[in-house]
Structure 1
Amino acid sequence: MTSLENPSLQQLVKDARELFVKEFNAQPTVAAFAPGRVNLIGEHTDYNDGFVLPMALPLVTVVVGRPVDGNIASVTTTDPTVDEPRIAQFSVTQENLKPELPKWANYIKGVVALYPTQVQGFEAAYTSSVPVGGGLSSSAAMEVATYTFLEALTNKPNSSSTEKALICQKAEHEFAGMPCGIMDQFISVMGKEGHALLIDCMDNTSKDIPLNDPNLVILITNSNVKHELSGSEYPTRKKQCADAAKLLKKKSLRFATLDDIQTLENLKADPDIIKRARHVISEIKRTQDAAQVLRCKDYRKFGKLMIESHNSLRDDYEVSTPALDKLVEIACEIPGVYGSRMTGGGFGGCTVTLVTKDDVCKVIENVNSKYDKKASFYICVPSNGARWIGCF
């Protein structure tokens, strides 16, 4: 459990509680939260059995609620981006659950359907500070918050963090139609204050990497170009990676090297497949190197790897946008910036910048003066993963 020491968390709980009382004319009895995440480096490597290096954010999704008699769940949200009904009802009988409208409730349904034990009916209200469509994993935050809420509701915490993350990932696959890797749910469950998390997506193991220098912050800049990854782009790139591995007769691109790019060229593989493979193979190596230099507090080398990652995502994986490229360029004009890159699936969303605490305001000022859209900013440090907040 955690106390309500974070004022933003306290405000979210207050907002969720007020919504709950308004919608259900009752008081909630339990609450939980789960964070969004930012990936420092290691993009589109997770579904290729590679490495990723995310950190949990102080931006979180909160759910408050109470059990009710029967087998009906009623859920509501404060999310202002939801243009569908903001309240949904469904049976919690696991074999009857299936994706349907409103879409936002499918993330909740998926977790209920796959929860290790049958749960009784409940009422719940959700609120969040994780921006939707910003590439900071608002979906995983909702899934993990839901799972943690169900643990609190039943007073039966799962002893396996890995199992919890995998169930939430499966919920996103089956109920949101998004074939995501394990990174988002893992870090939302396992985040640790003052640390990034190096995740090996082949065997689902992880290592804490210290990131607690008081002179550093992570600046997330939201381009406010909303991304949508449940369309064709993400599955297409995933298939291109699988096709590259098949041509190379590898289980996955985790087992390939940059020398294999020449093999693909000799095989006259589709140029797009070659580019996708080159990004993934080089990004897996960059992520391992980045974790090592971060342990050594070599922020200059870490920043260089961030920039190389962005360039690869832009040129070889082709998931960046002019807006993201511009934000990276503007950030890197400030001497106190070590590195910057797009983060998340791409096609919009956010950049992540490693910058000295003293210079972060200069970056924000530079972006505000040179970016031709309205950007949003989040100054963050690595935070804890999902927790029960406790009973009211």
Structure 2
Amino acid sequence: MSSIQSSDEVPVRTLPNNERIKRLKDYFCKEFDCEPMFFVRVPGRVNLIGEHIDYCGYPVLPMALEQDILIAAAVQNKPELHLRNINNKYDNFKMEVRCCEDLNIIPDSNGKPFWYNYVLCGVKGALEFLNDRIDSGLQLVVDGNIPPASGLSSSSALVSASCLAVLYAQNVPLSKTDIASLCAKCERYIGTQGGGMDQAIAFLAQKNCAQYITWQPLKATPVALPENAAFVVAHSLSEANKAATNDFNRRVIECRLAAKIIAARAGAVTDKKIITLSQVQSKLDNSLEDMVKLVYEYLPNDLYTKSEICEILDVKEEELEKLYLTPNTSHLTEFKLKQRALHVYEEAQRVDDFRKQCSQTASNGNGQNGVNGKSNPIVHENGDCDDIINILGNLMYGSHQSLNELYECSHDNLNHLVKLSKEMNVNSRLTGAGWGGCIIALCPKDKVNCYIDMLKEEFYVKYCKIDKNKASSYVFATTPNHGAEIYVNK
């Protein structure tokens, strides 16, 4: 394990002295009769705006949470993987690991992944990267305080932390962008066709600012947020596991098919590389506004059958399934292409508007963006904060409406949270894949306590019928946190 690293690598820091680390260390010693050699921490994330567009090639604007996945690890001479979770509701797991082929990631009888499947995804991705050049094993104990199935990236954080643990144990230096890209591929072993946002923010996050994340090449640019802005996360009490159903992958392939049809009808059908809606826009050299018009022109129907799509693209059904569908979507016969494409293009515009609004109303005191050529987070003037919060909040609310109506990935509980928030003049939206999970709300700091109290009373107590004291664990204010870290005894 290397002691020399570049600034672009995941930072290796001295082990913090806190109760959580101590508890995890004690648990590890009790389970394995030895001390952990190192710890890996990967944060959860909340996406401020830009939902379901990363896998379409468009920028997103997330921030890392204080909540995280923490793994204690030790290398062992035998090629075995021993997994424990500090939460005793999760079963122990052990297997021999010599190569990628040993790692068969099989869900339970209902198609839902076991908790350790996410660890195996990270391990498998690391082994594949290493070309199976590994002759040692790992002992791992996981401690997570990100609410599972909440849309806050608990599963991606677990995949990423596991992959990082294997690579660090094998003394493999990787840049943050490289490991983020690797971990994005890892999660596809679970069957989810994500776009890489969760892994990018997990490794590239900086404290006190959101990140504007763009693709090909992967790049994160700090975006300062209004100094009077507070972000509140509230759980809908409806859990959603995107790997357990085909809801998520269905939206992914509907966007792929929409892209192919727009490209074909616009005369770009011969370009085999076009598979995302952003690639279509780039190929046609159009604005987002122009692309919205093309959606109405080239995808006028509310519903398309598989046979209609085959006819438009001039392919046979077997070829369509092989090229564009996934194993858990190949049986589908009807697709909503217009609605999905409209959401993507309009959501991409909202992200751009959000970022520009933050930039246009910012000042760092000397009129320059950064010091000595370096990009620094910008601080907003106090007088502009309320107006900025309203403008940004309205963009977030518009995002939610689109996700509910066009992408159809919201949930009654999410909609009720958004409605209650709006009645208090606080704008919010679902965050994460949807179908449950959380909302993210933007409100002035001086309104946070009143807002949280209102949600506790109106949503958790009256609507969900739970005790108010228990409600405190489901709603919290948060600030942007830093990305992944490795801890060692120095």
TM-score with structure 1 length normalisation?
A: 0.91
The 1:217/1:389 distance shift into structure 2, 3 A limit, reads: farther
What aligned pairs does 1:214-225 form with structure 2 within 5 A after superposition?
Answer: 215-225=228-238
CA distance in 1, matches of 2:301, 2:46: 37
Aligned residue for 1:347, secondary structure, equals coil
CA drift of 1:288 comes to 1.1
What aligned pairs does 1:265-304 form with structure 2 within 5 A after superposition?
Answer: 265-266=299-300, 270=304, 272-295=336-359, 296=361, 297=380, 298-304=388-394
Q: Runs of 5+ in structure 2 lacking a partner?
A: 1-11, 108-112, 269-273, 282-287, 305-334, 362-379, 381-387
- 1:161 pairs with 2:172: no
8 Å contact from structure 1 (residues 221, 352) kept in 2:
yes
CA drift of 1:224 comes to 1.6
Which residue is 1:24 aligned to? 32
8 Å contact from structure 2 (residues 43, 483) kept in 1:
yes
Q: 1:237 aligns with which of 244, 248, 251?
A: 251
Q: 2:100 aligns with which of 86, 94, 98?
A: 94
Greater CA deviation, 72-81 or 49-58? Answer: 72-81
Which residue is 2:440 aligned to? 352
Aligned residue for 1:244, secondary structure, equals helix
Q: 1:105 aligns with which of 101, 112, 116?
A: 116
CA drift of 1:319 comes to 0.5
Q: 2:62 aligns with which of 54, 68, 75?
A: 54
Greater CA deviation, 367-376 or 145-154? Answer: 145-154
CA drift of 1:228 comes to 1.8
Greater CA deviation, 161-170 or 94-103? Answer: 94-103
Supply the AA of the counterpart residue of 1:361. N
Residues 2-35 of structure 1 deviation map (CA, whole Å, 9 limit, x = unaligned): 4566x9xx34323322221221122112111000
Residues 195-215 of structure 1 deviation map (CA, whole Å, 9 limit, x = unaligned): 1111123542221112372x3
The 1:322/1:122 distance shift into structure 2, 3 A limit, reads: same
CA distance in 2, matches of 1:81, 1:360: 34
The 1:385/1:259 distance shift into structure 2, 3 A limit, reads: same
Q: 1:15 aligns with which of 23, 38, 50?
A: 23
Residues 279-307 of structure 1 deviation map (CA, whole Å, 9 limit, x = unaligned): 11100111111111123352221111000
8 Å contact from structure 1 (residues 216, 356) kept in 2:
yes
Aligned residue for 2:169, secondary structure, equals helix
Aligned residue for 1:225, secondary structure, equals coil
Count of matched residue pairs = 382
Residues 135-173 of structure 1 deviation map (CA, whole Å, 9 limit, x = unaligned): 000111112222332344234431x22220121111110
CA distance in 2, matches of 1:60, 1:333: 32
Supply the AA of the counterpart residue of 1:262. Y
What aligned pairs does 1:49-198 form with structure 2 within 5 A after superposition?
Answer: 49-79=57-87, 82=90, 85-100=91-106, 103-115=114-126, 116-117=129-130, 118-119=133-134, 120-158=136-174, 160-174=175-189, 176-198=190-212
Greater CA deviation, 115-124 or 23-32? Answer: 115-124
Greater CA deviation, 377-386 or 247-256? Answer: 247-256
Which residue is 2:277 aligned to? 253
Which residue is 1:323 aligned to? 413
- 1:41 pairs with 2:41: no
TM-score with structure 2 length normalisation?
A: 0.73
Which residue is 2:430 aligned to? 342
The 1:92/1:328 distance shift into structure 2, 3 A limit, reads: farther
The 1:284/1:81 distance shift into structure 2, 3 A limit, reads: farther
Which residue is 2:296 aligned to? 262
8 Å contact from structure 1 (residues 92, 112) kept in 2:
no
Choose 1 or 2 for highest CA Rg: 2
8 Å contact from structure 1 (residues 12, 128) kept in 2:
no
Residues 197-243 of structure 1 deviation map (CA, whole Å, 9 limit, x = unaligned): 11123542221112372x33211001121002121111111111111
CA distance in 2, matches of 1:166, 1:81: 31
CA distance in 2, matches of 1:54, 1:185: 11
Which residue is 2:5 aligned to? none
Aligned residue for 2:434, secondary structure, equals coil
The 1:300/1:370 distance shift into structure 2, 3 A limit, reads: same
8 Å contact from structure 2 (residues 15, 489) kept in 1:
no
The 1:239/1:67 distance shift into structure 2, 3 A limit, reads: same
The 1:259/1:212 distance shift into structure 2, 3 A limit, reads: closer
8 Å contact from structure 2 (residues 339, 407) kept in 1:
yes
Greater CA deviation, 98-107 or 194-203? Answer: 98-107
Supply the AA of the counterpart residue of 2:418. V
8 Å contact from structure 1 (residues 42, 284) kept in 2:
yes
Greater CA deviation, 367-376 or 51-60? Answer: 367-376
**Sequence identity (%):** 27
CA drift of 1:92 comes to 4.4
Supply the AA of the counterpart residue of 2:182. I
CA distance in 1, matches of 2:422, 2:21: 37
